[in-house]
Amino acid sequence: MTEVFEHHTDVGWFDLDANRHMKNVAYMEKAVDCRLRFFNSLGVTPEVFAKWKVAFVVVSDHTTYSRELFLGDKMRVQMLCGGVNAKGTRYLIVNRILTPEGERVYEIRSMIVWLDTETRKVTTPPPELATILENMARTEDYAAL
């Protein structure tokens, strides 16, 4: 397994809500950005996904909010695997947002399925992608789905 993938960022002006703290959708956008950065860091760019004719689709999200972040606050956004089904078509992807000191701010658990972009049906990822996913850092409560 690889180390936990982590991206460092901060709270920007457009991340704020009327109460002047980070809005819920901004946490989700930071998680999505982290997922794309994870794949890009391994050379799996949007062009590679297109060549493989595969995409991941989020079918559900479960979020847990622990504390506020405000304009300019720094954060660490992590990506881990929380589980996979026997076929390899469904994964639980966990993004954690932490303070620089490691205090948990927000966690989003996203159930994803791999989609064949031609047939629009659920599929298994190609072998190169399956290897990447198998080697992802795992959550403490990782379990078969």
Q: What is the chain's pLDDT, residue by residue, as a tens digit (145 residues)?
A: 689 999 999 999 999 999 999 999 999 999 999 999 999 999 999 999 999 999 999 999 999 999 999 999 999 999 999 999 999 999 999 999 999 999 999 999 999 999 999 999 999 999 999 999 999 999 999 999 9
Indicate whether 102 belongs to any domain: yes
Distance CA 129, CA 39 (A): 9
Indicate whether 82 belongs to any domain: yes
| pTM exceeding 0.85 | yes
Indicate whether 120 belongs to any domain: yes
- Give me the domain span that covers residue 29: 5-134
Indicate whether 140 belongs to any domain: no
> In the prediction, which pLDDT does 54 show?
97
Q: How many structural domains are present in the chain?
A: 1
SS3 of the chain: helix, strand, coil, percent, to 5: 25, 40, 35
- Strands 121-122, 5-10: parallel, antiparallel or unpaired by DSSP? unpaired
> In the prediction, which pLDDT does 2 show?
82
Asked whether 142 and 82 are in contact (CB, 8 A), the reply is yes
Distance CA 58, CA 76 (A): 22
Indicate whether 139 belongs to any domain: no
CATH of the domain at 74: 3.10.129.10
The type of residue at 123 is T
